[in-house]
Amino acid sequence: MRKYLAPIILVLAFTLINCHNNPANKKTEGTINSKKETIPSEPDPKLTLAWETSSILKIPESVLHTNDGIFVSNIDGSPTEMNGQGFISLIGHDGKMKVLKWVKGLNAPKGMGIYKDKLYVADIHELVVIDIQGETILDRFTAKNSLFLNDIAIDQDGRVYVSDMKKNVIYCFADGKLEEWLKSDLLVSPNGLFSDQGNLMIGTKNNILKVNTKDKSVQIYIDNTGSIDGLEAIGDGRYIFSDWIGHIHIAGPDTKVFLLLDSTKEKINAADIQYIPSKKLVLVPTFLDNRVMAYHLDL
């Protein structure tokens, strides 16, 4: 009898396992499914603080990540004050200060962009060109009839786009000339700019516009965003954007506008942010709070 016992146990065990996995066993199957349904298929994106600078900065408005560190534009005064106190700082990738006043002699510097070893800075009425290696101001181009230059985006051909938030136009610097380039009824308080494969993306008072830089056609890409300061592509069609007050949102053309960060209660602003896709890092200049804070973005 004993020699038949082992096969019988095996057969019983097999039958039990089989029974458990049998799709016909609706009760078991139903229980598993209902449990699965309560778990969201994709977790919400979220920001987690990675590092922050000390409060040594002076009204930081914008940030620009490079291989050698991160440039920070410091307004140092009111955003429209021609006080000569504005400057650019250079901080390390860990948020430690390298050079507080890397380049001085600006007024109220805001958006920045780099093309061929030159740093371009929007500074109230001027586009300031800085030689990065020489750490000096090379040139200043005045935007005629400008009221409040704010952000910068540079395309692959080196054309520098500059938003004027109060005049509701976009200027373009090309072939040594800075000229008015785009006017549109859709341009309402244009601020954050992002150059995205032949398109200029513009953050306005309540939407993200997509402008074809060849024919200048303008369309609304994402609506009902709230007012936008910094505007950055994620790389999959979605954009991350700040509102200056202290909110950061993420949205795509087919997704809802999702709140990632609210630091308004702590009175920490979120000015012209930058997203670094290779590090999944969001850099946030905190304006009146005088810091740069870096967050990991889990998508």
- Interface residues with Ca ion (CB under 5 A)? 111, 150-151, 191, 229, 272
Of 90 and 108, which has the nearer Cβ to Ca ion? 108
Q: How many Å apart are CA 151 and CA 170, to the nearest integer?
A: 10
Taking the complex as a whole, how short is the minimal distance between the CB of residue 241 and Ca ion, in angstroms? 10
Taking the complex as a whole, how short is the minimal distance between the CB of residue 243 and Ca ion, in angstroms? 11
In which residue are the tokens 């709140």 written? 259
Taking the complex as a whole, how short is the minimal distance between the CB of residue 86 and Ca ion, in angstroms? 14
Of 53 and 195, which has the nearer Cβ to Ca ion? 195
Taking the complex as a whole, how short is the minimal distance between the CB of residue 60 and Ca ion, in angstroms? 11
Hey, which residues does 202 pair with through a beta bridge? 193, 209
Helical (H) or strand (E) element with 29 = helix 26-37
Q: Which residue is nearest to Ca ion (CB)?
A: 272
Q: Encoding tokens for residue 269?
A: 């602003």
Q: How many Å apart are CA 199 and CA 187, to the nearest integer?
A: 15
Of 154 and 218, which has the nearer Cβ to Ca ion? 154
Q: How many Å apart are CA 259 and CA 46, to the nearest integer?
A: 9
C-beta contacts of 106-109 below 8 A and 24+ residues apart: 106/73, 106/137, 107/81, 107/82, 107/83, 108/61, 108/75, 108/76, 108/77, 108/78, 108/79, 108/80, 108/81, 108/82, 108/83, 109/61, 109/62, 109/73, 109/74, 109/75
Of 103 and 231, which has the nearer Cβ to Ca ion? 231
61, 242 Cβ separation under 8 angstroms: no
Hey, which residues does 275 pair with through a beta bridge? 282
Q: How many Å apart are CA 181 and CA 203, to the nearest integer?
A: 17
Of 28 and 233, which has the nearer Cβ to Ca ion? 233
Taking the complex as a whole, how short is the minimal distance between the CB of residue 115 and Ca ion, in angstroms? 15
Q: Encoding tokens for residue 255?
A: 């997704």
Taking the complex as a whole, how short is the minimal distance between the CB of residue 39 and Ca ion, in angstroms? 37
What count of residues does the chain have?
Answer: 299
260, 237 Cβ separation under 8 angstroms: no
Of 69 and 109, which has the nearer Cβ to Ca ion? 109
Amino acid at 134: G
Residue 34 backbone phi and psi in degrees, to 5? -65, -30
Of 141 and 272, which has the nearer Cβ to Ca ion? 272
Taking the complex as a whole, how short is the minimal distance between the CB of residue 95 and Ca ion, in angstroms? 19
Of 164 and 229, which has the nearer Cβ to Ca ion? 229
Taking the complex as a whole, how short is the minimal distance between the CB of residue 272 and Ca ion, in angstroms? 4
